[in-house]
């Protein structure tokens, strides 16, 4: 192992903490968009994902993601976090890590945590907690581990082919978006959708969650430089710039389409920009990041309309924002990447690099999307054969909070505040249509 850089180690550990904050941020982002009777159920799934994946990652899935042995999946050499005195396989020469392997473990853990948490947005209001728990265990092992190995590990086949993903456009967002679509199909539509209005019950929660995501995303992207260096600074600036551009792009689409720009649209646009810049952050210039943000802010609000056209109930638009945002960002690497930003990268099409990188990016997108969708669908169906995965009609009417957890977010009972009130707050009904997430 090379000498340890203490500054880089401190930055990666701080970034890991920032990325962990993103999952509670996501919980509030999603929790504000569901009806009041389901908010605790949504928060519970996201917080439980932190606990479940933390254990699975230590026991086996880190080794599957970053162990050596094959192009498809890592071996079990690092299972239980054994052999942590050894360098992470494949990081050699100019790409050798200057942080302790344990720091890399905990940083990558936070990516593994938030990815299955993202899936919960597509299944909001109807996924039983008892089925969610084994799903996360199996999905972390069978889907996230192999996909992370393909793209993030220098031993993986997509990495070896030259696909670039700075911080998880394919591994996190395309992966979660495809899985979200699969689980939406496995569980079926919410009771009453699409005829009933299911507006967000607490838009300030949505904005709070979006703000926490924006803040934590600096660790997500800039931390992926794995050092306190110029590349981390580029990733930081690009992350903020693309997010700003996407926010403005989304509310512009709303203004042109509906006559008004909404706060929900602003939050949605910010998240779309964060998603799209994730694979690009360490490869594009600041001007390139503006282009990435504008594309995400224009394409994602249009993509969320696909669920109505094709009839799949993706409750909070994981497909429209994360799948399409991840695809846009991953392909933009092939267009806007420049070695002026990262000498270890490649030039994209618009910088004289030809179509080669764009083709590798497309292959990575299609491979991850297809694998994630198929395996997730199988996992969901198998679990449904063993235990009930969806709330009953009565439980869905009562709401996830009381039916599954015996709690109500806004109605305190007697001592202890765990009363079982079943009424939700009135739904928020904006005066005009909106293209914001979850509508």
Counted residue by residue, the chain has a size of 439
Quick: pLDDT tens for 217-266: 999 999 999 999 999 999 999 999 999 999 999 999 999 999 999 999 99
Contact call for residues 161 and 363 (beta carbons, < 8 A)? yes
Confidence grade of residue 314 (pLDDT, cut at 50, 70, 90): very high
What's the pLDDT at 438?
Answer: 64
Cα end-to-end span (Å), the chain: 51
Q: How confident is the model at residue 439 (pLDDT cuts 50, 70, 90)?
A: low
Tell whether the model's pLDDT for residue 428 goes beyond 90: no
Distances (CA, A) of 47 to 52, 58, 120, 131: 9, 18, 11, 15
Copy the structure tokens of residue 4.
């340890």
Per-residue model confidence as pLDDT tens digits over 158-189? 999 999 999 999 999 999 999 999 999 999 99
The pair of structure tokens assigned to 103 is 């720091």
Q: Tokens 């945002």 sit at which residue?
A: 325
CB atoms within 10 A of CB 407: 20
Cβ atoms 131, 389 nearer than 8 A: yes
Dist. CA 219–CA 134, nearest whole Å: 29
pLDDT of residue 433: 38
Tokens standing for residue 98: 């200057």
Q: How many CA atoms lie within 13 A of 4 on its CB side?
A: 14
Three-state DSSP state, 430? coil
Segments in 278-405 forming alpha helices (H)? 286-303, 306-310, 318, 324-336, 356-386, 393-398, 400-405
- Tell me the pLDDT tens digit for each residue of 1-33: 678 999 999 999 999 999 999 999 999 999 999
Q: What is the pTM of this model?
A: 0.93
Burial of residue 114 (number of CB atoms within 10 Å: 0-12, 13-18, 19+)? buried
Provide the mean pLDDT of the chain. Answer: 93
Distance CA 77, CA 90 (A): 14
Give yes or no for residue 431 having a pLDDT over 70: no
Indicate the pLDDT class of residue 424, thresholds 50, 70 and 90. Answer: very low
pLDDT for 430:
38
Least confident range of 87-96, 231-240, 267-276: 87-96
pLDDT band at residue 421 under the 50/70/90 scheme? very low
Q: Taking the CA atoms of 155, 68, 8 and 208 in sequence, report the sign of the dihedral they define.
A: positive
Is 115 strand, coil or helix?
Answer: helix
Tally: H helices and E strands in the chain? 18, 0
Whether a cis peptide bond, with omega within 30° of 0, leads into 389 is no
Structural domain spans, the chain:
6-386
Question: pLDDT band at residue 412, thresholds of 50, 70 and 90?
Answer: low
Once rounded to an integer, what is the mean pLDDT over residues 44-62?
98
* 368-396 per-position pLDDT tens digit: 999 999 999 999 999 999 999 999 999 99
DSSP, residue by residue, 12-50: HHHHHHHHHHHHHHHHHHHHHHS-GGGHHHHHHHHHHHH
Which residues, at least 6 apart from 78, have a Cβ–Cβ distance to it below 8 Å?
A: 62, 63, 66, 67, 84
**CA–CA dist 419, 410 (Å, integer):** 10
Q: Which residues have C-beta within 8 Å of that of residue 152, sequence separation ≥ 6?
A: 65, 66, 108, 159, 165, 168, 171
| Res 382: pLDDT | 98
Instruction: Give the homologous superfamily in CATH for domain 6-386.
Output: Ammonium transporter AmtB like domains (1.10.3430.10)
């Amino acid at each position: 192992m090379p000498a340890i850089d203490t500054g880089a180690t401190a930055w990666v550990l701080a970034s890991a903490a920032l990325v962990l904050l993103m999952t509670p941020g996501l919980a509030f982002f999603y929790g504000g968009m569901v009806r009041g009777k389901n908010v605790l159920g949504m928060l519970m799934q996201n917080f439980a994902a932190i606990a479940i994946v933390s254990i699975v990652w230590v026991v086996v899935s880190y080794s599957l993601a970053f162990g050596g042995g094959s192009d498809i999946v890592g071996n079990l050499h690092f299972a239980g976090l054994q052999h942590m005195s050894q360098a992470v396989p494949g990081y050699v020469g100019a790409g050798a890590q200057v942080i302790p392997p344990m720091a890399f473990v905990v940083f990558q853990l936070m990516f593994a945590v938030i990815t299955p948490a993202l899936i919960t947005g597509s299944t909001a209001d109807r996924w039983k907690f008892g089925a969610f728990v084994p799903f996360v265990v199996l999905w972390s092992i069978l889907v996230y581990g192999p996909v992370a190995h393909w793209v993030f590990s220098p031993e993986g086949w997509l990495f070896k082919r030259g696909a670039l993903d700075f911080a998880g456009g394919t591994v996190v967002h395309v992966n979660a978006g495809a899985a979200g679509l699969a689980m939406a199909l496995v569980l079926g539509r919410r009771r009453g959708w699409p005829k009933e209005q299911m507006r967000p019950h607490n838009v300030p929660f949505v904005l709070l969650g979006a703000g926490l995501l924006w803040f934590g995303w600096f660790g997500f992207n800039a931390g992926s430089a794995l050092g306190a260096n110029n590349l981390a600074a580029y990733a930081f600036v690009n992350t903020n710039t693309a997010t700003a551009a996407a926010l403005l792009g989304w509310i512009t689409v709303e203004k042109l389409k509906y006559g008004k720009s909404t706060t929900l649209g602003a939050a949605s646009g910010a998240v779309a920009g964060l998603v799209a810049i994730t694979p690009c952050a360490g490869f594009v210039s600041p001007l390139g990041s503006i282009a990435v943000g504008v594309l995400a802010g224009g394409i994602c609000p249009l993509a969320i309309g696909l669920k109505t056209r094709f009839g799949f109930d993706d409750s909070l638009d994981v497909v429209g924002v994360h799948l399409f945002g991840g695809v846009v960002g991953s392909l933009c690497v092939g267009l806007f990447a420049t070695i002026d930003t990262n000498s270890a990268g490649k030039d994209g099409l618009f910088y004289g690099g030809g179509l080669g990188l764009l083709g590798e990016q497309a292959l990575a997108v299609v491979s991850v999307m297809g694998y994630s969708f198929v395996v997730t669908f199988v996992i969901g169906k198998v679990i449904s054969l063993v235990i009930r995965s969806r709330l009953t009609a009565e439980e869905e009417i009562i709401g996830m909070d009381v039916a599954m957890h015996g709690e109500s977010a806004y109605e305190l009972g007697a001592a202890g505040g765990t009363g079982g009130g079943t009424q939700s707050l009135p739904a928020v009904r904006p005066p005009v249509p909106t293209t914001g997430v979850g509508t």
